[in-house]
Structures are given as structure tokens and as C-alpha cells.
Amino acid sequence: MHLVGVLLTAATGGSAGTRPTVGAVLSALDSVTSARDGVEHLHVHITPRGVRLTFYLAGCDLTDAVGRAIAIAHRAVAGPTALARFAVTDFNVLDRPAGPRRDTH
């Protein structure tokens, strides 16, 4: 399982005034996601800066997980969805390093 964060912000010329609801974002993402994408879970956080998505992806390596998360986000903003006025502006890998935890005392 890999966790990948993606940030969507209002596209150039767009207005950040009316933010989509979490339900509208989930619906938009559901409409462009298939079982092949490997999304096990998705967290949506609406912020003043935009929409922050956290994808929990299974059945792939880390590089593929990043590619899948970004591709899904691009499909969502390209379609006639609640995210159409947004753009994919950033991503980050949220996985914890593998191995035992170390005490840093």
C-alpha cells in the first residue's frame, strides 16, 4: 500500500471563491476511477488553498502509485466534474520508510 498526496488549486483565471464539497469531489473522482487504478481508499480535505487528496493505492510499486494518483487527478480536472476549474499543482509521497522504527533519544 502506498500513500500519495495530490494538491489541486484553482486554475488560472478561475475563482477559488466557491469550494466544492467533499461529496462532489468524491463523486468526481469516482467517475474517472476504475478498479485497475488500485485505489483502496481516498481522503479529501478542502482547504483555503484548494483540494488536497490522499490516495491509498495497492497492487503497485511506488513509482506506479505516484503515476496512478496523478493520472486520476488529471482525469478528474479534465472532465465535466466539480473539479473542472482546478489544476493539479503538486504531489508528494506520504509512505513511511520500511523497517523497524528507531527511538531517537
pLDDT at 12 over 70: no
Q: What is the pLDDT of residues 39-75, one digit of tens each?
A: 999 999 999 889 999 999 999 999 999 999 999 999 9
pLDDT at 105 over 60: no
- Sequence-distant (6+) residues with CB within 8 A of 84 are 77, 78
Amino acid at 88: V
CA-to-CA distance for 76 and 87, rounded, in angstroms? 9
> For the chain, what is the mean pLDDT?
89
Residue with cell 496523478: 70
pLDDT at 15 over 70: no
pTM over 0.75: yes
- State the distance between the two ends of the chain, measured CA to CA, in whole angstroms: 29
